[in-house]
Amino acid sequence: MSAEKQFAQLDFQPFQGCSSPHIQTVFARFSPPGKSPPSQPFLVPLTDGDLLSCQLSTPPTWNPTEKTILLVHGLCGNHESSYMVRLSRKIYNMGYRAVRINLRCCGSGYGLARRPYHGGISDDLLQVAQALNRQTPRSPTILIGFSLGGNIAVKLAGELGSQAEGLLSRTIAVCAPLDLAHTAHLLTLPHNRFYQSYYLHKLQKDAQLWLNKREINTMVEFDSLVTAPQWGFKDAADYYEKSSSRKLLQQIRHPCTLLYAQDDPFIDYRQCTDTTLSPHVQVFFTRHGGHMGFFGWADPENRYFWLDSQLLKWVKHG
């Protein structure tokens, strides 16, 4: 793929009066998800003794040669996050198998792991993909990561390189923070105070086992107190350096699609434009959309969830 074709602008039009990135972001966070598809637990034993809990939704008409779609949530999310429920239901209705992956200690996986997840825990996703591949090796598998889950997905794609063949047919990342240190910095800016407070409130509640009632004021502080010591990083900076997928973009050897809104409050889309990309990577931008928002008319089926419509097109043709 030529360099100029690796970057493309998509025509997303927000609803009138809803072009603000903050409106887009908040709506996406609190929009009603609708009904979950029929699902059953799928537990994946990890090599360190912990367990991941996934929700497996298999349509009655699905057969082992049809697609499997793995969905990975973002920071403070789980299998019940609105985008996870909406997409899994629509994927299920398309006749594909949908797998909602809970990262460690999230959702139905609470209490099944001794350590919390982090933004570079790509080996966990690998073990899920391998477990499913052992059961249904002829099912083409697409991995979709949202926000922090997108960084984890892209990191895995880069680490696998040519070994992704037969395991992942495509990787898609939405609003992924490929440079974790830069994203942590952006969250400290005044216009992002609401978002940092929201995430810290959730983390303070979810990570009490490791915080021991200590108060945290920034993401860097959380990663210094919890992530780094739990996972053997020297400090937060070491964690960000080793877990960011940006440096692995040139190593990807299977189709990889990245989607960004250029007005995202705390994810800088330029982390892709000034980085060497593999010819297998294509990046799409929209002018508006905020963080994981993309609130604008799509079609009669997806209504105002333009993101769903775009992802389902890539899933269908991927």
**Closest to 310 measured CA to CA, from 215, 194, 191, 175:** 175
Query: What is residue 224's three-state secondary structure?
Result: helix
- pLDDT, one tens digit per residue, over 237-262 is 999 999 999 999 999 999 999 999 99
Stretch (H or E) spanning 313: helix 306-317
Q: Is 23 exposed, middle or buried (0-12, 13-18, 19+ CB in 10 A)?
A: middle
Residue with tokens 């990046």: 283
Please report which confidence band the pLDDT of residue 31 belongs to, taking 50, 70 and 90 as the band edges. Answer: confident
Confidence of residue 212 (pLDDT cuts 50, 70, 90): confident
Q: How many CB atoms lie within 10 A of CB 201?
A: 12
Overall pTM surpassing 0.95 (yes/no):
yes
Q: What is the pLDDT of residue 274?
A: 86
Nearest partner of 291 among 95, 30, 51, 22, judged by Cα: 22
Q: Give the pLDDT of residue 196.
A: 96
Distance of alpha carbon 154 from alpha carbon 247, whole angstroms: 10
Please state the domain extents for the chain.
Answer: 3-178+245-317, 180-243
Residue 4's pLDDT band (cuts 50, 70, 90): low
Q: Are strands 141-146 and 68-72 parallel, antiparallel or unpaired?
A: parallel
**pLDDT value for 103:** 98
Q: What is the pLDDT of residues 80-106, one digit of tens each?
A: 999 999 999 999 999 999 999 999 999
pLDDT for the residue numbered 5: 76
> In whole angstroms, what is the distance from residue 181 CA to residue 14 CA?
30
Please report which confidence band the pLDDT of residue 208 belongs to, taking 50, 70 and 90 as the band edges.
Answer: confident
Whether the Cβ atoms of residue 7 and residue 273 lie closer than 8 Å to each other: yes
Q: pLDDT-based confidence at 299, cuts 50/70/90? A: very high
Which residues contact residue 5 at a Cβ distance below 8 angstroms, ignoring those fewer than 6 apart?
282
Q: Assign domain 3-178+245-317 one CATH number from 3.40.50.300, 3.40.470.10, 3.90.220.20, 3.40.50.1820.
A: 3.40.50.1820
- Percent of the chain residues past pLDDT 90, beyond the cut: 91
Q: What is the pLDDT of residue 72?
A: 98
pLDDT value at residue 29: 81
Q: Convert 60-69 to b/e letters by CB count within 10 Å (16 or more is b).
A: eebeeebbbb
Helix (H) or strand (E) holding 204: helix 193-206
3-state SS string over 125-180? HHHHHHHHHHHCCCCCEEEEEECHHHHHHHHHHHHHHHHHCCCCCEEEEECCCCCH
**Average model confidence (pLDDT) across the chain:** 95
Instruction: Output 30 or 300, whichever has higher pLDDT.
Output: 300
pLDDT band at 283 (very low <50, low <70, confident <90, very high): very high
Cβ-count burial 301-318 (b if 16+ within 10 Å, e if not): ebebbbbbbbbbebbeeb
- Checking DSSP bridges between strand 68-72 and strand 97-101, what pairing results, if any? parallel
C-beta of residue 270 within 8 angstroms of C-beta of residue 259 = no
* Per-residue model confidence (pLDDT) at position 42: 97
The pLDDT confidence band at residue 168, using thresholds 50, 70 and 90, is: very high
Which pLDDT score is estimated for 3?
Answer: 57
Q: Radius of gyration of the chain from Cα atoms?
A: 18
For the ranges 2-6, 44-48, 149-153, the lowest mean pLDDT is seen at: 2-6
